[in-house]
Chain A
């Protein structure tokens, strides 16, 4: 601080070190920026450029202006179908991940012992690869030989619901979404649990003394307190949900028909099966835009509620 005062005021505010050279900043900053630029920033720009071209990877690139975007938004039924599917997939993931996480985290608070064990067990599915999870759920959903889900249904007297979950067009979307939700509940539960632990005890006790019910305690004290963390986890879960790809791609490859096609799997097939790089880039630009809009909406909605 005392030495820093010799510097310009602007610099004093930025740095924690009394002495540091401009070169040292570059030495530390350039390598990470290079890798980040090469893997993330530059490809984003490339995709943006490619989205205005028609290109099959071999011939000449042909500039088509906004034609790809116009086609995607006005003529491509598969795209819209996959977009609606992606929203359904997202909804199921959010309910399972955030809803499940909040419920389990709240329950965990009332346990005296075994919290660590529950946390570890609950996080376990996050360690398993999506390929393994796809195998596992293929067996859970199967009807011949009868899988876990159909077996449970027939035991509890809901045998009429038994079906091949992955080849039924009405259930396939839910069937490919559930594993993704299941996989990461533990992660979000941990984060929310930690946030709930940080709610000051005095605040809760004061509310109880004032006659607050458990429900009021939750809605009036705990939830407002963890709202910033809730925003973070909602953003995480939403952006992960929107980029969900592995499990639908592996289990059904978007089928039967387009009933479990997501924007991501559609983009992947457009790029690497139809080798339509231009149009695939258009779709991937859409995926990024979708994520940005979603984050904007979440921040807008949850912040506004906090102010109200």
Chain B
């Protein structure tokens, strides 16, 4: 996942100031992914260049106000509806995606969960078939496959759990306690 997807998702909810984006992103994801100010503004200027956001002129406060464009909205929708690839997962993109989806009334969380679950199940089927093809002499290979199977299974169980929470009712956004605070409290 890129910072880009996260910031765009927040701008899809409503227009925001740059500094506000950073705080909101960290609050929503429990600071599992701290951003620095530079990252936020570099990303915003790239988004502006690509036509995904428009920046209003700096007001008296000197702060720029960012608004998402139709193009940006399409990119957010694509991000929410495309399953996270197993191969490339810096940080836990999936958890962050769901955390951001909760605050966005336009996103069907059940559909996000289901798209991901189908993808995960397909991966599980692949690993399982490779296991079925491997002989008992391939112990090392089997152990590696098992690791992938159990990781993917854990993901599916977590998705099932997310779904039942969503079914229980879409709750107002609750800010998770930042990870650092939890650690400090120990």
Do A and B come together as binding partners?
Answer: no
